[in-house]
Structure formats: C-alpha cells, structure tokens
Amino acid sequence: MGLTAYAVCKNYGETRALYDVDLAVDKGEFFTLLGPSGCGKTTLLRIIAGLEMADNGRIIINGKDYTKVPANKRPVNTVFQSYAMFPHLTVLENVCFGLISRKIRKSEAIDKARKTLDLVQLSDFEDRKPHQLSGGQRQRVALARALANEPEILLLDEPMSALDAKLRVQVQIELRQIQQRLEKTFIMVTHDQQEALTVSDRMAVMGVGQVAQFGSVREVYDNPRNRFVADFLQTQNFISVERIGPCVVSTPYGDWELKEQIPWEEGTVTVRPEKLRISSDLSECDFKAHVNTVIYRGCYQQFILSNGLLMETETVLPVKEGDELMVHVPKDAVIILHEETFQRMDVRTVR
C-alpha cells in the first residue's frame, strides 16, 4: 500500500519531461523527489495529484488505479510553492474554506479546522489574518488547510522556498515532526539536498526526466551509484582509478584498498573531504601532501591539498598553510561509482 507509479512518460511538445519513471512510496513515509531545476519533479508530482495527465504509465494509490481519475476525486492534497491565502479571511476561515466548499457542514468544518490548527500548533492564531503571521506560520496554515481534508497522501511542492534560510531549517524539523505524529504519507519536491536529507525517510534523486537513484536517505548519501547523484549530493574528490586487484585500485595518490570488489577495470571513486584523516603514524599514511589553503568555516575547516584533494577537519586541529600532512584514507570512506552515468538514452527531446 502507498503509492506506485509505473513507467510514467510525459512530453510537452518536443520536450520529454518524464521518461519511463517508476516510483514506489510506502504508506506513512516521508518521500522526497530531489533534483535540479527542470528535471521533471514538479511534473511527476502534478501527475500524482491528477493536475496533469501522463502520456503513458499508471498511478496506483493504496492498490487502486487512479491514472485517469480527476484531481478532485483523488485521495491526495497539495501544498504549493506559493501558499496563497485569502487575505481578508482569518486563519480559521482560511482552513475552513476548502471544507465548506466540499459541502461539509459549517460546525463540522470548524471542528476539523480547529483540530488541524492544533496539530500544527497554531490554535492561538486562529483569529489572525494572514498578514499578521510570520512566513513559517503562513506555511503551517497552508499545511493545515491541506491536512484538514484528511488526504491519504500529502504532496508538497517546494513548500519552504518562500522562507529565509534560518526559518527553513526550523520549518523542516516541524514538518518532519508533524508527519511523524500523523504517520501520513508525505511526498515532497525540492532541489535542496540538505532539506531532503533532513525531512525524508527515502528519496529519489532525479536527473533529466528519469530517476537516477532511489533509496533511504542514508543509502543514497553514503553510496551514490553514479557521478550525477554524487555530484548533486555535493560529494567532492572524484578520482579516476584503475583496478589492480579485486579490491585494490591504483590512484594518482598511491594504491588504495577498498571495502568491496570493484566492478570495472577503469572507473571513478570518490571520497568525501570529512572522511580523510590526518595520521601521525607512518604505517597508516596513504599519501603525504602539503596544505596549500586553509578555509575556516566556523564549525569546521577545509584544506586544499597540494595534490588537489579537499579535506575537512574540526577547527581544533592546529593546521596551517604550508604544513605537510600524512593522510589516511579509511577503506570504508571510498565510494565506488558503479555507473559513470545513469541515463539510458538522450531523454530530453522526443524523436
């Protein structure tokens, strides 16, 4: 149960927005569609909502085929980027509006709206008008409005894009807590990888019209399969290597032993800057390099090394430009990119 999308395709004239996309979202999970601008995530969300029809493929919700069912008959509700509210109505009236227009009795609508406002911790604000609320509070009213309809699945299209950076982080945590309290299925679209990692159980990383990788946030972050996903999750230090043993590669920095068998003769591995370790023990040293630049980042520091690699450490370590470091590359720090690219074809143009 939950949501399954099978082989969804969508073209806009010559532009192929989605090509053969499969997706499986479990009931009660927070699932995120993450990807760069234009990759097709909003189109997929709109197809799930019924606001857009797929050219091919099927949308199954809780075991029932909704592919051809109009938006207002689907058990989903959407929170849009611009959560436009009626400025002359109070918070309570804004939340009631959709319920009353669905012919729910006024007293019942007020009851439901109050319960939902309580859930998003806005009970004390029900008499305020939208302009008397902060951005984060407005966002929670939008959420309450969508949740008041008791949808099986809540769809969120970049719901935090109107908030400033600090508020965003706070609202992300609130959103996650509300979802966990409700145990409802949330599907969110975002291009912000930090946001996806903060709120989601699982995610699909999308690149032009296709899903590039799909899994729990930890699986995908720790083991990006290809360069596109690794790049999008801000992995650094891409290194071209050759296999010289089942688990050993020759790199420009020496031979490294890896944690698993290497699936190709030549390919790319990557190691996150924070996984490289300064070593005081020569027997543990995988390479030596000078520190060309120290970048102070407040809660951590970065070093650009003379061999071009980037590393990160806590700021307490007294490292300065010009120092020579012995660097240890732990076996499990090296990520093997299984595929150079994920695309099955040039999907952008319909031919």
Q: How far is the CB of 93 from ligand ATP (least distance, A)?
A: 30
43 touches ligand ATP (CB under 6 A): yes
Q: How far is the CB of 206 from ligand ATP (least distance, A)?
A: 7
Q: How far is the CB of 54 from ligand ATP (least distance, A)?
A: 12
| 15 versus 198: smaller Cβ distance to ligand ATP | 15
- How far apart are the C-alpha atoms of 290 and 300, rounded to whole Å? 19
Binding mask 70-109 for ligand ATP (x = CB under 6 A): ----------------------------------------
- How far apart are the C-alpha atoms of 148 and 151, rounded to whole Å? 8
Give the relative orientation of helices 91-101 and 135-148 as an angle to the nearest 10 degrees: 20
Judging by DSSP bridges, how do beta strands 30-34 and 185-190 pair with one another? parallel
Using alpha carbons, list the distances in angstroms from residue 297 to 264, 302, 316, 324: 37, 7, 12, 21
H or E element in which residue 204 lies: strand 202-207
Task: By CB under 6 A, name the one of 74, 112, 168, 191 that touches ligand ATP.
Answer: 191
39 touches ligand ATP (CB under 6 A): yes
159 touches ligand ATP (CB under 6 A): no
Judging by DSSP bridges, how do beta strands 202-207 and 30-34 pair with one another? parallel
Q: How far is the CB of 191 from ligand ATP (least distance, A)?
A: 5
Q: 348: helix, coil or strand?
A: coil
- How far apart are the C-alpha atoms of 33 and 42, rounded to whole Å? 9
**30-38, 117-125, 137-145, 159-167 -> range binding ligand ATP (CB under 6 A):** 30-38
48 touches ligand ATP (CB under 6 A): no
37 touches ligand ATP (CB under 6 A): yes
Query: Which parts of this chain interact with ligand ATP (CB under 6 A)?
Result: 12, 15, 17, 35, 37-43, 191
